[in-house]
Amino acid sequence: IKFNPALIDENKGSDIVILTTVFTVLIILSTGGRIATKLCCKVKLRVEDYLIILALAFNLTCNALEYLAVEAGFGRHLQFLPRNQELTFRKWGQYAILFACLALWAVKISICFFMLSLIRGVHERARWVIWGLIVITTTTSACQAVFWGTQARPLKKLWEPQIPGKVASRKIVFATSLIRAGFANDFFNPDLTWALYKVYLCTIIERNLAEIIADLPAIYPHLRNATKK
C-alpha cells in the first residue's frame, strides 16, 4: 500500500473490543440462562438446546479472534503496521469468517428445531417447510465453508500472500456474502485494517444478536411456568 503522509495513526480497535466484550457477556448470560432455566425446571434438553450451545462455542471462538485481530492492528491504518502484524491480522480475520459462518448456521438450525417442537404432531405442511429450511440453510452454509477452505491453495496463502499458490478473486469472495453488499467500497479498499471497521461491527452484532434472539422464546415459557408455581 502506498504511504499517505496525510493520514493520522488513529486506532478504532477499542470500539471493536468494547462491542465484543458486551456481546460476549450477553450471549453467555442468555444461553447460560436458557440451559440453567431448563435444568432447574427439570426439562430435558432438546436438539435445539445442544445446537445453541454449539452456537455459543462458535461465537465465543469468533469473539476471541476479534480480540486477536485488534491486537494485531485492526482499527489502524495499514500503512502504520509492521508486515508481520498485517499477516497476523489476515490470518485471524480469515478464521473469524469461518467461525462466524458456523455460528450463524447453528443459530438458524436451532431456531428451526425449536419451531418444530412447537408444532409437533400438527401442521404437517409447516413441518415440511421447516425441514426444507433446515436442508437449504445447511447446504448454503456448507457451500460457504467449502468455498472458504478452497479459495486459496494452499489455504495459508490467504494470510501469507508471498508464498507460492493461487487465490480466488476478491470479487468472487465478495459475491458469496450478502452482508457485504452495503460495504462494497470498504471491502475493496486496500487499507483493509481500517476500511473493514464497519463490516466487523455489523458481523459482530449480527451473529451475537442472532443467538440472543434465539434464546429468548425458549426461555420465556419456562420462566412463566416457574413464576406461576
220: pLDDT strictly greater than 90: no
Across the range 98-121, mean pLDDT stands at 91
Q: Where are the alpha helices (DSSP H) in the chain?
A: 13-40, 47-71, 83-118, 124-150, 170-175, 184-187, 192-195, 197-228
Across the range 1-26, mean pLDDT stands at 90
Which one is predicted more confidently, 119 or 14? 14
181: pLDDT strictly greater than 70: no
pLDDT tens string 157-166:
777 777 887 7
Separation CA 208–CA 56 (nearest Å): 9
pLDDT tens string 35-68:
998 888 888 899 999 999 999 999 999 999 999 9
Separation CA 170–CA 158 (nearest Å): 11
pLDDT of residue 217: 83
Q: Which three cell numbers stand for residue 135?
A: 436442508
Place of cell 494485531: 72
C-alpha distance from residue 182 to each of 77, 144, 174 (Å) = 21, 19, 11
29: pLDDT strictly greater than 80: yes
pLDDT above 90 covers a percentage of the chain that reads: 47
pLDDT of residue 196: 87
201: pLDDT strictly greater than 60: yes
pLDDT above 70 covers a percentage of the chain that reads: 86
